[in-house]
Amino acid sequence: MAARVILSMYTEEKIGDTSPSSGLLDALERPQKIHRVVQEAILLAGGAVAILLQVADPGVARGVDDHSNFAYRPLDRLRTTMTYVYCVTFGTRDEKKAVIEMVHRAHAPVNGPGYSADDPKLQLWVAATLYAVGIELYQEMFGVFEDADAEAIYREYSVLALSLRVTPDMWPPNQKEFWKYWDNQIATMDVTDNAKSVAKDLLRNKEAPLQIRLVLPLVRLTAAQMLPDRLRQAYGLKSSKIRRASYRLLMGFTKATYPCLPKTIRTYPMKYYMRDMRRRLESTA
């Protein structure tokens, strides 16, 4: 189905209205190929990279730094993001409606001088990072998509943006246009003190549980190698021949082993977060 046909299924929502339109919910029932990507646990390995890319936008950085607390609740943003991503792609119509309304309510108070969590441009960038990081990791593990599948998955990823105030005309119509948008964003991003504060809490979190602190060296290594050079340098992350070789070794080992894991293991995080979401929805019913 052509990109514009899919996008035209969505109707715009007014800022301040937490209830998603029926047109949006109709369209959210249609994605199929995106399941193939989103269900894979390997995408969680790019969580830190996606966050660092997101907060490279000064508006996102101010909102996260002013209204989140990575130091004391490092797993909250991961839980919120993955619940949203998994629900929008795998949930029932009622579950999607409930989660979208929940996200809109959570975003409503997140605003201040120069930023608002309901700003469609900021939401577009957040969704773009989820697509770019997710597709890179998936193809690293399983190989590059055929052109038709690549475009279909790209079109379906638009649901992550369009359920967050982004209007259909804002999501680039094809991959070529998306990467033009992406390159322009990377070239013009400004890593502010707010972004560096978030990065410190994310990558060097002394308040995190021990099991998280133990894997932070790998998180820093992955983030440094996956980020574009300009942003890596702005965040003060180091790269060297030894670090690059270590990253290639890590990715080579992961690529050789991860696809061989049983699907039940590779999809466990998706099932876990979906169960968690359903428990929370039941408790508020």
What residues of the chain score a pLDDT lower than 70?
1-31, 69-75, 285
Residues 6+ apart with CB under 8 A from 266: 39, 40, 41, 42, 258
Which token pair is 231? 């942003």
Residue-level pLDDT at 20: 55
The answer to whether 173 and 54 have CB atoms below 8 angstroms apart is no
Residue-level pLDDT at 113: 80
Residue-level pLDDT at 11: 39
Which token pair is 236? 């003060």
**For the whole model, what pTM was predicted?**
0.88
CB-based burial label for 276 (10 Å; 0-12, 13-18, 19+): middle
Closest among 136, 128, 149 to 251, alpha carbons compared: 136
> At 64, which helix (H) or strand (E)?
helix 58-67
Residue-level pLDDT at 268: 96
Residues 6+ apart with CB under 8 A from 232: 223, 224, 239
Rounded to 10 deg, the angle between the 147-162 and 120-142 helix axes is 150
At position 237, the amino acid (one-letter code) is L
The torsion of the CA quartet 187, 128, 139, 2, rounded to 10 degrees, works out to -120
Handedness of CA 52, 19, 271, 85 (dihedral sign): negative
Residue-level pLDDT at 28: 56
The answer to whether 220 and 237 have CB atoms below 8 angstroms apart is yes
Cα atoms found within 13 Å of the Cα of residue 11, Cβ hemisphere only: 9
Residue 236 zone, left/alpha/beta (φ > 0; ψ -120 to 50; rest): left
2 by DSSP, 3-state: which? coil
Chain position carrying tokens 């070529």: 176
Which residue stretches of 108-262 are H helix? 120-142, 147-162, 175-188, 193-203, 210-226, 229-235, 241-257
Residue-level pLDDT at 25: 53
Residue 87 gets which letter from DSSP?
H
